[in-house]
């Protein structure tokens, strides 16, 4: 039979990245396309130990229904860490445990946006967020970025010209897909603009713990005295992405509404792994563990950048991230990214096309995203070699 | 600051049951209010063994991002079991693993319903589904039930008079909250009506495995040749509710759309516990395990019914379920359920008020839901005693 889908979801397409992910079953393909943490970063032995302890100490709690807002001791541990480490948990704020950072984004859009409202985003930006906004019937409006983050003049213009703007979606630190980090001044300015025009900010910070150079810049949420910022993060990039445990930190009144929506979404997040995360926050040296991940990514990003510096023509520009998982490359006008990416796939190198990350008003982005956390060193060297060869051949 | 929430979510209230659940921290309160499986039903030792095996065999897969549709071997195992056991997986059907049965309900509504569409439901029905529909801006229209399930004449009338009816939501087997089971004839009739009026059926079957008397009645999905039924179920009542692993079985075209919406919702379900479920389906005698749960619930329901038969006045009518978790009681007109329930709470017995389960067009239901899977035998005896005392005092 022919199905009639809802107006909001009928136009939705699967995320190109998830689809690429599915097609990467060919073991010969080198993937710079993932957004995955390195498997080397998973603390397997400790997680096994903590899991055994939970089976031993409190299996009936861990396997039973729990509270929608999350496992209370984990919420408290997150509050303490996020507060002391990033200054993001104020007195009026509440922690809600979510099924990965993605759920925090989806629920925030659901709670604040009506069909036809506009969500203003950095462009390019995270496809998972764009599709979440679209699934709620929102329009996504892209604002260009400078090296130090969103162009705030363009942001104000976008706010002024948007239809029912409600939410500004930002990934200020090690942005996906560009790897760029927004300066402290611009963070302040974004908050001022949100206040001036009565918008909420959704601050997505999945990579904030992964800084391997430069100095820390406080999250926008830490500058927010009135509850205008909803802060989303997760344990995906520091413990395990497959377990799907994240959190939202926001004003208690907004948190209550997010919680009601989470209740009808999945009742609560996997309780066993909430308890695992709680043990990692309270019975484990998480900072030392994160330090090791940073060292790993510092090394891998340096390797990829050194390879790019050595092998790519100067006409190709790319970002030099201070942390996170991604490098973004812009091709010169005379090179067509679509044709290049197609040829890369033929030679078994996968990258993510720039147009994956554009908003509803976006034009073509002649670039692509590369990831250095998942491929092995050998794959990084070989992959950049393939990339350089294709670009050089096409540049002739 | 004052928040302006979206039109769909602004009127949402937390589920009364989840709120009751939160307040049940007083250890003296006897709860007949939960919808929880008995902790005795959790196969803790085997789960621990399977978890250790996963940490040992394939930790990098289990802790990494996975595919949105679910862990492929689990999807295949569910297809085989659901097909052979319930006849619900046809050639055109696809299995999608969801974060509990609740997510299947939420995503089905999202995919098929526009704001202002009507979802037609049994009345009373599961509050988690009602609130999911409301969160998508749907109207819920209730249809009264007979002892053998929904009144199909009233169903046809409701379809004819509803504004934009799109979906019929049914829990045919051991319905929540009534414990009633729909006859095979009525299941056929529901499917005919859906076909006649061009509606989809969302068949929610979380309790189907928990039959302890009477004979099996095939799910509506097993009678569906054209893909008109979306079937939701979960492992919550046979393995663990806290792990949040469920599944949707439906036509592949609908499944693709549900999958896209799941992608923006939580990317995928906790992969580790998907792998645990896979081991339970392939390396474990699940049928023997379920047989034990059925015996447990047969005994507990019989105990509660015997206590009710012995202690309650004849004017109180209640259902005698053949499976599942719930008994529904209707009070005679001269007794006010609100006042009775309030007094029960004062005497430390919690039940769920009937009005929790009514649709948008619903009137007052002078009854309540009781659960026998969670309280101990002593609590069942003591709790029914409290109930009988309060009712007798008020009946004087």
B 50-79 residues with CB below 8 A of A? 51-52, 55, 59-68
Q: Which residues of A touch B52 (CB under 8 A)?
A: 48, 51-52
Smallest CA–CA distance, residue A314 to chain B, in Å, is 35
Retrieve residue A283's tokens: 């019975």
Task: Assess contact for B225 and A90: CB atoms under 8 A.
Answer: no
* Residue B226, burial from CB neighbour count under 10 angstroms (0-12, 13-18, 19+): exposed
Q: Which residues of B touch A135 (CB under 8 A)?
A: 110, 260-261, 264
| Single residue among B229, B264, B282 that ends a domain in this structure | B282
Q: Which of B266, B276, B277 to mutate to test the interface with A (most CBs of A within 10 A)?
A: B266
A 322-351 residues with CB below 8 A of B? none
Domain containing residue B343:
16-43+287-395
DSSP H stretches of helix in chain B: 16-23, 44-57, 59-63, 72-86, 100-112, 127-135, 152-161, 184-197, 252-266, 271-282, 286-311, 337-346, 377-395
Q: Are residues A309 and A178 in the same domain?
A: no
Does A235 reside within a domain?
yes
Instruction: Select the residue of A3, A21, A243 nearest B270 (Cβ to Cβ).
Output: A243
Q: List chain A pLDDT tens, one digit each, 396 residues.
A: 899 999 999 998 876 666 666 666 678 999 999 889 999 999 999 999 999 999 999 999 999 999 999 999 999 999 999 999 999 988 999 999 999 999 999 999 999 999 999 999 999 999 999 999 999 999 999 999 999 999 999 999 999 999 999 999 999 999 999 999 999 999 999 999 999 999 999 999 999 999 999 999 999 999 999 999 999 999 999 999 999 999 999 999 999 999 999 999 999 999 999 999 999 999 999 999 999 999 999 999 999 999 999 999 999 999 999 999 999 999 999 999 999 999 999 999 999 999 999 999 888 999 999 999 999 999 999 999 999 999 999 887
Instruction: Return the residue of B nearest to A230 by Cα.
Output: B3
Say yes or no: A7 contacts chain B, CB-CB below 8 A.
yes
* Cβ distance of B244 and A267 shorter than 8 Å: yes
Task: Assess contact for B8 and B116: CB atoms under 8 A.
Answer: no
Residues B123-149 as b/e (b if ≥16 CB within 10 A, e otherwise) read bbbbbbbbbbbbbbbbbbbbbebeeeb
Q: Which residues of A touch B240 (CB under 8 A)?
A: 63-64, 272
B 220-279 residues with CB below 8 A of A? 226-228, 236, 239-244, 251, 253-254, 256-257, 259-261, 263-273
- Taken as a whole, chain B contains a residue count of 396
Q: Are residues B170 and B296 in the same domain?
A: no
Q: List chain B pLDDT tens, one digit each, 396 residues.
A: 899 999 999 998 876 666 666 666 778 999 999 889 999 999 999 999 999 999 999 999 999 999 999 999 999 999 999 999 999 988 999 999 999 999 999 999 999 999 999 999 999 999 999 999 999 999 999 999 999 999 999 999 999 999 999 999 999 999 999 999 999 999 999 999 999 999 999 999 999 999 999 999 999 999 999 999 999 999 999 999 999 999 999 999 999 999 999 999 999 999 999 999 999 999 999 999 999 999 999 999 999 999 999 999 999 999 999 999 999 999 999 999 999 999 999 999 999 999 999 999 888 999 999 999 999 999 999 999 999 999 999 887
* Cβ distance of A132 and B265 shorter than 8 Å: yes
| Single residue among B282, B308, B336 that ends a domain in this structure | B282
- Domain containing residue A321: CATH number: 3.90.1150.10
Name the 3-class secondary structure at A60.
helix
Q: Are residues B294 and B278 in the same domain?
A: no
* Cβ distance of A55 and B66 shorter than 8 Å: no
H/E segment holding residue A151: none
* Cβ distance of B272 and A114 shorter than 8 Å: no
Cβ neighbours, 10 Å, residue B388: 17
Retrieve residue A95's tokens: 């922690």
Smallest CA–CA distance, residue B391 to chain A, in Å, is 31
Instruction: Select the residue of B132, B236, B267 nearest A102 (Cβ to Cβ).
Output: B267
Q: Are residues B267 and B333 in the same domain?
A: no
Does A154 reside within a domain?
yes
- Residue A299 makes CB contacts below 8 A (sequence gap 6+) with none
Write the pLDDT tens digit of every residue in B317-362: 999 999 999 999 999 999 999 999 999 999 999 999 999 999 998 8
Q: Are residues B168 and B294 in the same domain?
A: no
* Cβ distance of B269 and A64 shorter than 8 Å: no
Say yes or no: A1 contacts chain B, CB-CB below 8 A.
yes
Q: Are residues A258 and A318 in the same domain?
A: no
In sequence order, what DSSP letters do the residues of A207-242 get, joined into one string? Answer: TTT-B-SS-----GGGG-SSS-EEEEEESTTTT-ST
Instruction: Return the residue of B nearest to A54 by Cα.
Output: B48
* Cβ distance of B266 and A264 shorter than 8 Å: no
- Domain containing residue B101: CATH number: 3.40.640.10
Q: Which residues of A touch B261 (CB under 8 A)?
A: 9, 12, 135
Name the 3-class secondary structure at A98.
strand
Nearest to B118 by CA among B92, B146, B138: B138
Smallest CA–CA distance, residue B376 to chain A, in Å, is 14
pLDDT value for A13: 80
Q: Tell me, what's the ipTM?
A: 0.96
CA of B39: how far to CAs of A270, B30, B36, B244, B347, in Å?
16, 16, 8, 15, 25
Give the position of tokens 């992910």: A21
Q: Which residues of A touch B257 (CB under 8 A)?
A: 3, 5, 9-10, 12
Does A8 reside within a domain?
no
Query: In this structure, what DSSP letter does residue B200 have?
Result: E
* Cβ distance of B265 and A102 shorter than 8 Å: yes
User: How many folded domains does chain B comprise?
Assistant: 2
* Cβ distance of A39 and B63 shorter than 8 Å: yes
Q: Are residues B85 and B123 in the same domain?
A: yes
Q: Are residues A358 and A324 in the same domain?
A: yes
Does A5 reside within a domain?
no
Does B242 reside within a domain?
yes
Instruction: Select the residue of B131, B200, B261 nearest A135 (Cβ to Cβ).
Output: B261
Q: Are residues B276 and B298 in the same domain?
A: no
Q: Which residues of B touch A61 (CB under 8 A)?
A: 242
Q: Are residues A94 and A76 in the same domain?
A: yes
Q: Is the dihedral of CA B163, B168, B174, B177 positive or negative?
A: negative
Does A1 reside within a domain?
no
Instruction: Return the residue of B nearest to A19 by Cα.
Output: B67
Instruction: Select the residue of B13, B102, B268 nearest A260 (Cβ to Cβ).
Output: B13
Smallest CA–CA distance, residue A129 to chain B, in Å, is 7
Q: Are residues A241 and A166 in the same domain?
A: yes
Q: Are residues A258 and A315 in the same domain?
A: no
Instruction: Select the residue of B51, B99, B134 nearest A99 (Cβ to Cβ).
Output: B99
Instruction: Return the residue of A nearest to B63 by Cα.
Output: A242
Does B8 reside within a domain?
no
Does A27 reside within a domain?
yes
Q: Which residues of B touch A8 (CB under 8 A)?
A: 110, 114
Q: Which residues of A touch B57 (CB under 8 A)?
A: none
| Single residue among B282, B300, B335 that ends a domain in this structure | B282
Smallest CA–CA distance, residue A358 to chain B, in Å, is 16
Task: Assess contact for B262 and A128: CB atoms under 8 A.
Answer: no
């Amino acid at each position: 039979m022919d199905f009639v889908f809802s107006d909001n979801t009928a136009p939705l397409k699967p995320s190109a990245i998830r689809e690429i992910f599915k097609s990467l079953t060919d073991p010969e393909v080198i993937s710079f396309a993932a957004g995955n943490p390195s498997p080397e970063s998973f603390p397997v032995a400790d997680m096994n130990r903590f899991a055994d302890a939970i089976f031993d100490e409190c299996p009936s709690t861990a396997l039973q229904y729990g509270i929608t807002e999350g496992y209370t001791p984990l919420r408290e541990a997150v509050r303490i860490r996020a507060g002391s480490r990033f200054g993001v948990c104020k007195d009026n704020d509440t922690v809600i445990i979510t099924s990965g950072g993605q759920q925090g984004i989806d629920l925030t859009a659901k709670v604040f946006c009506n069909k036809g409202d506009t969500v203003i985003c950095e462009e390019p930006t995270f496809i998972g967020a764009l599709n979440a906004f679209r699934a709620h019937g929102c329009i996504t409006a892209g604002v260009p970025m400078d090296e130090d983050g969103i162009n705030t003049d363009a942001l104000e213009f976008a706010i002024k010209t948007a239809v029912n703007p409600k939410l500004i979606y930002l990934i200020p630190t090690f942005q996906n897909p560009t790897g760029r980090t927004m300066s402290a001044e611009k963070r302040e300015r974004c908050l001022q603009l949100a206040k001036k025009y009565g918008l909420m900010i959704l601050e997505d910070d999945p990579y904030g713990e992964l800084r391997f150079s430069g100095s820390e810049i406080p999250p926008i949420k830490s500058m927010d005295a009135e509850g205008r910022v909803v802060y989303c993060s997760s344990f995906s990039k520091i413990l395990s992405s497959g377990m799907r445990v994240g959190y939202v930190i926001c004003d208690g009144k907004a948190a209550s509404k997010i919680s009601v929506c989470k209740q009808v979404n999945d009742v609560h997040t996997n309780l066993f792994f909430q308890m695992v995360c709680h043990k990692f926050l309270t019975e484990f040296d998480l900072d030392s563990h994160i330090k090791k991940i940073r060292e790993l990514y510092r090394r891998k990003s340096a390797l990829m950048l050194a390879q790019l510096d050595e092998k790519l023509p100067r006409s190709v520009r790319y970002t030099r991230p201070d942390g996170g998982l991604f490098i973004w490359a812009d091709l010169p006008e005379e090179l067509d990214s679509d044709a290049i990416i197609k040829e890369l796939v033929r030679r078994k190198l996968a990258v993510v096309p720039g147009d994956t990350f554009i908003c509803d008003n976006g034009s073509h982005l002649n670039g692509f995203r590369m990831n250095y956390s998942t491929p092995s060193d050998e794959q990084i060297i070989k992959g950049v070699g393939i990339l350089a060869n294709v670009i050089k051949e096409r540049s002739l």
